[in-house]
């Protein structure tokens, strides 16, 4: 695609990077059919190619983005299915991140939208505040239907719908030293996952320690920054990335790390991109590249580990839901399936596995109508495999799909922990009728 940026514009490194991305696009449109929003809405401006045109026009002409442009960019899930399909290697993810940051700087959203985005940015990345907010959701639940009738308040209704009715107690399971350790890894503690499903972290620690790998929590580490990044709040995302790079650099320089393990694939995608995010910061560029190179999804690390499957679990029929951030963002597709099959499970992929479930960070709050259609579609595809449970690797997907499916949602770590001597996932106890629990207790 031809571009006409001025030399002054190209002096800005982010604009120069976006210009290189735009120039790679050859307008072929191959990406359209892999795009969930184009598939649902059928509007060229809700396709990757249409959005690239909008972004090009906005950046090249230094335009103040109007509501129409903002609407189509906001509707993008950042699922990166398009980037995976593109024959010209257009790095759409970095381009849309730039567009979101530009919109945040040059567009004044309606008051309710600004307040809701501020609330999400101030609450979700902080586990203590998030837990309090979930408890407070009980007070707002009676008003959910009323909120849903007002487009401005619909995100509040979506938050209430997504909030669990019971908030689990804070995780008590901590890593312990491992004698004769075979490896030493940091585990990203994350923000939303330990609040919503603390058992995932506990299962991960047990699994790794049982295999002889020491797990550490780096002091000072927190949210990876992806929620802020996808809302265009670049300043917050960079601050989160720098804080985490500092925390893991201390661990690397003291006792060393073999990997930084991530159990939430959305966070893993962002961590692996820290080198790009901090490339213009001379104090952090090298350290960020070192941290990014160590970041691995749990499934990638487990393939290098001697997992002793004890053969005691039943060969449950499983629907594997590959999160977009894992399959498109990190291009990890085979490892989770191989691990689950090696553990004795009967693994099935749903039709259209490449299409997003509608979770996408805060998307199911800010774009709840589209997210709902995507969630229903995904739950139906997963259910059609006649599986007894759904397994995934991202808390956002688990929460979103659980809204639309009766099947238990389990994290990969919980099943592998169970298959190597740990307890059966608590989620399965709720569906004893589905899986004949008494046979494997």
Shortest spacing between CB 324 and ligand SF4, in angstroms: 7
Q: Is 264 in contact with 188 (CB distance < 8 Å)?
A: yes
Q: Are strands 317-320 and 346-348 parallel, antiparallel or unpaired?
A: parallel
Q: Which stretch binds ligand SF4 (CB under 6 A): 2-10, 43-51, 150-158, 337-345?
A: 43-51
List alpha helices for 255-393, DSSP H: 265-272, 274-277, 285-294, 298-302, 324, 335-342, 363-366, 368-383
Residue 219 found at the interface with ligand SF4 (CB under 6 A): no
E runs forming strands in 127-205: 183-187
Helix, strand or coil for residue 146? Answer: helix
Residue 31 vs 313, nearer CB to ligand SF4? 31
Shortest spacing between CB 56 and ligand SF4, in angstroms: 11
Integer Cα distance of 379 and 377 in angstroms: 6
- Residue whose pair of structure tokens reads 């309090």 in the numeric block: 132
Among 17, 54, 80, 191, binds ligand SF4 (CB under 6 A): 80
Shortest spacing between CB 307 and ligand SF4, in angstroms: 33
Among 15, 17, 22, 49, binds ligand SF4 (CB under 6 A): 49
Residue 82 found at the interface with ligand SF4 (CB under 6 A): yes
Residue 401 found at the interface with ligand SF4 (CB under 6 A): no
Length of the chain: 441
Residue 77 vs 319, nearer CB to ligand SF4? 77
φ, ψ of residue 410 to 5 degrees: the values are: -125, 150
Residue 88 found at the interface with ligand SF4 (CB under 6 A): yes
φ, ψ of residue 318 to 5 degrees: the values are: -115, 140
CA angle 313, 314, 316 (to 5 degrees): 120
Residue 78 found at the interface with ligand SF4 (CB under 6 A): yes
Residue 31 found at the interface with ligand SF4 (CB under 6 A): yes
Residue 48 found at the interface with ligand SF4 (CB under 6 A): yes
Asked whether the CA dihedral 283, 187, 301, 208 is positive or negative, the reply is positive
Shortest spacing between CB 94 and ligand SF4, in angstroms: 11
Q: Is 245 in contact with 273 (CB distance < 8 Å)?
A: no
Among 22, 25, 227, 410, binds ligand SF4 (CB under 6 A): 25
Q: Which stretch binds ligand SF4 (CB under 6 A): 86-94, 253-261, 382-390, 415-423?
A: 86-94
Among 17, 79, 238, 371, binds ligand SF4 (CB under 6 A): 79
Q: What does the per-residue mask of binding to ligand SF4 show for 92-131, with x meaning CB under 6 A? A: x---------------------------------------
Residue 29 vs 110, nearer CB to ligand SF4? 29
Contacts of 71 (CB under 8 A, 6+ apart): none
Structure token pair of residue 108: 């004044």
Contacts of 187 (CB under 8 A, 6+ apart): 175, 201, 204, 205, 208, 215, 216, 217, 260, 261, 263
Integer Cα distance of 243 and 294 in angstroms: 16
Q: Is 322 in contact with 353 (CB distance < 8 Å)?
A: yes
Q: Which stretch binds ligand SF4 (CB under 6 A): 23-31, 146-154, 276-284, 345-353?
A: 23-31
Residue 55 found at the interface with ligand SF4 (CB under 6 A): no
Residue 396 found at the interface with ligand SF4 (CB under 6 A): no
Q: Is 190 in contact with 264 (CB distance < 8 Å)?
A: yes
**Number of residues forming the site for ligand SF4 (CB under 6 A):** 25
Residue 47 vs 392, nearer CB to ligand SF4? 47
Contacts of 278 (CB under 8 A, 6+ apart): 238, 241, 242, 245, 284, 285, 288
Q: How many CA atoms lie within 13 A of 428 on its CB side?
A: 24
Residue 278 found at the interface with ligand SF4 (CB under 6 A): no
Residue 197 found at the interface with ligand SF4 (CB under 6 A): no
Residue 26 found at the interface with ligand SF4 (CB under 6 A): yes
Shortest spacing between CB 27 and ligand SF4, in angstroms: 5
Integer Cα distance of 299 and 333 in angstroms: 10
The CA-atom distances, in angstroms, between 112 and each of 65, 119, 136, 152, 156 are: 19, 10, 20, 6, 10
Q: Which stretch binds ligand SF4 (CB under 6 A): 88-96, 105-113, 189-197, 288-296?
A: 88-96
Residue 28 found at the interface with ligand SF4 (CB under 6 A): yes
Q: Which stretch binds ligand SF4 (CB under 6 A): 35-43, 64-72, 198-206, 431-439?
A: 35-43
Q: Which stretch binds ligand SF4 (CB under 6 A): 31-39, 114-122, 155-163, 404-412?
A: 31-39
Residue 3 found at the interface with ligand SF4 (CB under 6 A): no
The residues binding ligand SF4 (CB under 6 A) are 25-31, 34-37, 48-49, 51, 76-82, 86, 88, 90, 92
């Amino acid at each position: 695609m031809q571009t006409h940026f001025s030399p002054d514009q190209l002096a800005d490194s982010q604009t120069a990077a976006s210009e290189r991305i735009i120039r790679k696009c050859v307008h072929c449109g191959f990406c359209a059919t892999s795009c969930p929003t184009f598939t649902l809405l059928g509007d060229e401006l809700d396709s990757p190619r249409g959005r690239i045109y909008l972004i090009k026009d906005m950046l090249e002409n230094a335009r103040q983005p109007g509501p129409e442009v903002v609407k189509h960019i906001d509707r993008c899930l950042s699922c990166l299915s398009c980037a995976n399909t593109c024959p010209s290697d257009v790095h759409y993810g970095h381009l849309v991140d730039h567009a979101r940051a530009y919109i945040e700087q040059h567009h004044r959203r309606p008051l309710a939208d600004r307040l809701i985005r501020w609330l999400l940015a101030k609450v979700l990345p902080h586990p203590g505040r998030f837990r309090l907010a979930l408890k407070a959701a009980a007070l707002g639940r009676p008003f959910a239907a009323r909120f849903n009738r007002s487009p401005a308040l619909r995100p509040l209704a979506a938050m209430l719908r997504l909030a669990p009715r019971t908030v689990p107690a804070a995780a008590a399971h901590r890593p312990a030293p491992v004698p004769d350790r075979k490896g030493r890894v940091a585990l990203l503690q994350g923000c939303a996952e330990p609040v919503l499903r603390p058992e995932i972290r506990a299962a991960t620690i047990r699994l790794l320690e049982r295999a002889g790998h020491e797990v550490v929590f780096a002091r000072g580490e927190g949210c990876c920054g992806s929620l802020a990044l996808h809302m265009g709040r670049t300043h917050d995302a960079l601050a989160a990335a720098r804080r985490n790079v500092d925390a893991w650099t201390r661990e690397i320089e003291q006792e060393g790390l073999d990997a930084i393990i991530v159990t939430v694939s959305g966070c893993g995608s962002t961590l692996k991109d820290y080198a790009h995010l901090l490339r213009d910061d001379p104090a952090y560029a090298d350290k960020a590249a070192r941290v990014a190179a160590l970041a691995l999804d749990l499934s990638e690390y487990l393939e290098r580990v001697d997992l002793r499957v004890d053969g005691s679990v039943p060969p449950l029929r499983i629907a594997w839901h590959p999160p977009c951030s894992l399959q498109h963002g990190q291009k990890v597709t085979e490892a989770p399936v191989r691990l689950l099959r090696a553990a004795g499970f009967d693994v099935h992929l749903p039709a259209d596995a490449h299409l997003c479930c509608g979770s996408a960070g805060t998307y199911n709050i800010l774009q709840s109508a589209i997210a709902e259609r995507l969630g229903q579609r995904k739950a139906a595809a997963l259910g059609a495999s006649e599986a007894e449970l759904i397994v995934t690797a991202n808390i956002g997907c688990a929460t979103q799909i659980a809204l639309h499916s009766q099947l238990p949602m389990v994290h990969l770590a919980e099943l592998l922990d169970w298959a190597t001597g740990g307890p059966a996932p608590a989620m399965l106890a709720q569906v004893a009728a589905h899986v004949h629990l008494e046979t494997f207790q």
